[in-house]
Structure 1
Amino acid sequence: MTCVFVTGTDTDAGKTMAAAALLYRLAESAVKTLAMKPVAAGAVATANGLRNSDALQLELAMNARNVTYAEVNPICLAAPIAPHIAAEQAGIKLSVAELLRHQQRLAQHPHDLLLIEGAGGWLVPLNEVETLADYAVAARVKVVMVVGLKLGCINHALLTAAAIQQSGAELVGWIGNQPQALAMPHQHENLAYLQARLPAPCLGVLPFEPSADSAKLASYLLESQALMSLFAGN
């Protein structure tokens, strides 16, 4: 089955909006999707336990059913801080091996594509020696990078793409996301520069969405069949 890992150029690049938009777009051609937020830091207490808003958005956007929240977001941490610090505060030890076990359990549900959203940027630590990048490489995923269209995006995008390639992971595409109401100065020129220099195709450019409704943004992405062709390597 196809597995895609969504990372970002920084914490507020818009990974969840883009990831959910991808799930809605893929569903248009009846692709059966699963989503996973392996580690989420920043949650609210509910009657059913801690819940992270990003994970809930992914859970809503995927179309596989009979999947529990704990399978979508197996490690949910209360503090909105770096995951390895939040885990330490909660008395939890994060590791690549543990995340792989959670992924394998989720992947037992029938699906065509599993979309995994990271936390923060590419090199977010899991512990003293391992990062989310190590997990993505171990899971042999295709990587989609979300670029927050704001001042500094060119440097952030090129550095992140270089780090992804250096790790040995495959960057299959990137998505531009406008996280603020007003477009950044010279946004068109910035996008043109990135399109000419990033080593993977642009999958779409998402405008600012004030209602945070990812379903409305799906049409700004490549068509579902084109996305699956890229993700599956066809």
Structure 2
Amino acid sequence: MKRIFITGISTEVGKTITSSIVVEALKADYWKPIQAGDLNHTDSHKIGELISNTESVIHPTTYELKSPMSPHAAAEIDGIEIDINKILEPHTANNLIIEGAGGLLVPLNNKDTILDLIKPTYHVIVVSRHYLGSINHTLLTLEKLQDKGHDVSVIFSGDPHPTTESIITKKTEINVLGRISEEKRFNKRVILKYATEFKPKLIDIIKKDQLNTGT
């Protein structure tokens, strides 16, 4: 089964909303390896509140850190050091959606970053949201992933910004899965609407992987 890693070009760009849509579209499992801050209402809690299907399993987070900071700093405050070797992918026969924390180079400790959690077999979805500097952040993120040989797609989040999006797609020839627009509220109904919209392209990602691996 396919593993899809969802990362963003920065923090607060829509990774969790995107994750909920992909989980719902594929009735996939969900895993957030590292959560920093707001442990009473984590991203795992939010996924549970937003999806409608009863097949998805939300797997336990490996590291839950109390401070809403970079994981390496939050871990230091909690008196621990994140050990990447203890971040073990949960066993499941279902498709698995993995949500990162912040952007690719967010540090986990003095050596490892979020990028080091992404295995070569994972498909990576990058969530890009327009703001001043977002073109640079998006291109750097995509370039880093493509240089590592990852199969990558992008989802745009927020209001359309044609000049930003066109230069990103021209420079990278990236596979654009679609857009998550600004909504007054994200709830089960809205997530299901987007899940239905995104499902065909997400199924194509899984089929492509099956063809490449011969499974």
Instruction: Using structure 2 for the length normalisation, give the TM-score.
Output: 0.84
Task: Tell me which of 141, 150, 162 is aligned to 1:169.
Answer: 150
* Residue identity matched to 2:115: A
Give CA deviations for 1:55-108 in whole Å, capped at 9, x if unaligned: 2122343846595x6x33232111001111111211222122111x2x1xx223
Residue matched to 1:107: 91
Give CA deviations for 1:186-228 in whole Å, capped at 9, x if unaligned: x122222223233421111111122133651554565424312
Q: Per the alignment, do residues 143 and 75 of structure 1 end up closer, same or farther by CA in structure 2, a change over 3 Å counting?
A: same
Residue matched to 2:99: 117
Please list every run of 5 or more consecutive structure 1 residues that lacks an aligned counterpart in the other structure. 28-32, 44-49
Q: Per the alignment, do residues 208 and 145 of structure 1 end up closer, same or farther by CA in structure 2, a change over 3 Å counting?
A: same
Task: Tell me which of 71, 74, 89 is aligned to 1:83.
Answer: 71
Pair 1:209-2:193 in alignment:
no
Partners of 1:7 and 1:214 in 2: CA distance: 22
Q: Is the 8 A contact 1:24 1:218 kept in 2?
A: yes
Give CA deviations for 1:113-144 in whole Å, capped at 9, x if unaligned: 10000000011111111111011136x31110
Q: Percent identity?
A: 28
Please list every run of 5 or more consecutive structure 2 residues that lacks an aligned counterpart in the other structure. none
Partners of 1:157 and 1:3 in 2: CA distance: 22
Partners of 1:92 and 1:62 in 2: CA distance: 36
Aligned residue for 1:125, secondary structure, equals coil
Partners of 1:199 and 1:218 in 2: CA distance: 28
Residue matched to 2:32: 37
Instruction: Using structure 1 for the length normalisation, give the TM-score.
Output: 0.78
Q: Per the alignment, do residues 156 and 218 of structure 1 end up closer, same or farther by CA in structure 2, a change over 3 Å counting?
A: farther
Residue matched to 1:23: 23
Q: CA RMSD in A?
A: 2.4
* Count of equivalent residues: 207
Task: Tell me which of 78, 83, 103 is aligned to 1:95.
Answer: 83
